[in-house]
């Protein structure tokens, strides 16, 4: 076996939504290091191409795809492009999300509500239904949803997002039953991570003062998501499905 084929994901193809930045970018690069070819899907194609270049520099193949996860027809198109390029998808990560803030609950418009649910719940449902069905009819695979601790500890200024992610927790268990035994479906319930988005909002304050109520007293660094992602993506989790793993520094 050549050097570029060595790794727990050698010969596999991973599809990561929201894969051009933040936690998604970290997972894309980790999967490539583990031997996988990667489909990098996000709204901004130029950012996807930048990450694809990093994947290819590691000796893996990459397919950058610009798409909007909240648009049903674009989800269908993404699946066709992925299977057209590689013939199979072995790991799917539903990572793309959005959580716009609002000044008060009465300021939540129907448009905002629908957009948040489309990105965080509708799109992952459609993508999982399409890819999971193909996985189950083929060699199987692993599907990883990325949720939030807000689904357990909802915040008044993030209720649509937290409610949608709670629905994603539910989909995790339901799809695990629907596509087993050959397809495993699990969820990473992420706590506060210092992604680029966080660095432009609450990140500086947290870096200075920490999160004293959390067991670890701090927010996570993006690379700290990788261990959980690789666990679910590889055979290390061969007897794990329908599970929700908290990666949150010990939420209070």
The residues carrying an active-site annotation are 161
- Tokens for 140, please give them: 């199987």
Q: How far is CA 23 from CA 75, 138, 182, in A?
A: 20, 29, 27
Which residues are CB-neighbours of 217 under 8 A, at least 6 positions away?
Answer: 210, 211, 249
What is the distance between the alpha carbons of residues 135 and 141, in angstroms, rounded to a whole number? 6
Partnered with residue 147 across adjacent β-strands are 189
Q: How far is CA 142 from CA 168, 213, 233, 240, in A?
A: 16, 34, 6, 10
* Structure-token match 């930048």, residue found: 50
The DSSP code sequence of 41-95 is EES-HHHHHHHHHHHHHTT--EEEEE--TT-HHHHHHHHHHHHHHHS---EEEE-
């Amino acid at each position: 076996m050549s050097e570029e084929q060595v790794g727990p994901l050698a010969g596999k193809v991973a599809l990561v939504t929201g894969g051009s930045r933040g936690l998604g970018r970290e997972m894309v690069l980790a999967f490539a290091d583990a031997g996988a070819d990667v489909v990098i899907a996000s709204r901004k194609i130029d950012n996807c191409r930048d990450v694809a270049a990093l994947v290819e520099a590691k000796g893996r193949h990459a397919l950058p795809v610009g798409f909007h996860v909240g648009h049903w027809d674009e989800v269908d198109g993404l699946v066709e492009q992925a299977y057209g390029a590689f013939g199979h998808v072995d790991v799917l990560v539903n990572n793309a999300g959005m959580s716009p803030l609002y000044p008060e609950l009465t300021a939540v418009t129907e448009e905002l509500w629908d957009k948040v649910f489309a990105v965080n719940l509708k799109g992952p449902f459609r993508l999982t239904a399409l890819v999971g069905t193909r996985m189950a009819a083929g060699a199987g695979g692993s599907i990883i949803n990325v949720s939030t601790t807000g689904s357990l500890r909802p915040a008044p200024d993030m209720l649509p997002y937290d409610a949608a992610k709670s629905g994603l927790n539910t989909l995790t268990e339901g799809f695990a039953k629907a596509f087993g035994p050959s397809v495993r479906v699990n969820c990473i319930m992420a706590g506060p991570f210092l992604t680029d988005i966080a660095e432009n909002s609450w990140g500086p304050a947290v870096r200075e003062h920490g999160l004293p109520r959390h067991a670890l007293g701090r927010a996570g660094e993006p690379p700290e998501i990788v261990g959980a992602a690789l666990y679910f993506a590889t055979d290390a989790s061969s007897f794990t499905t329908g599970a929700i793993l908290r990666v949150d520094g010990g939420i209070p």
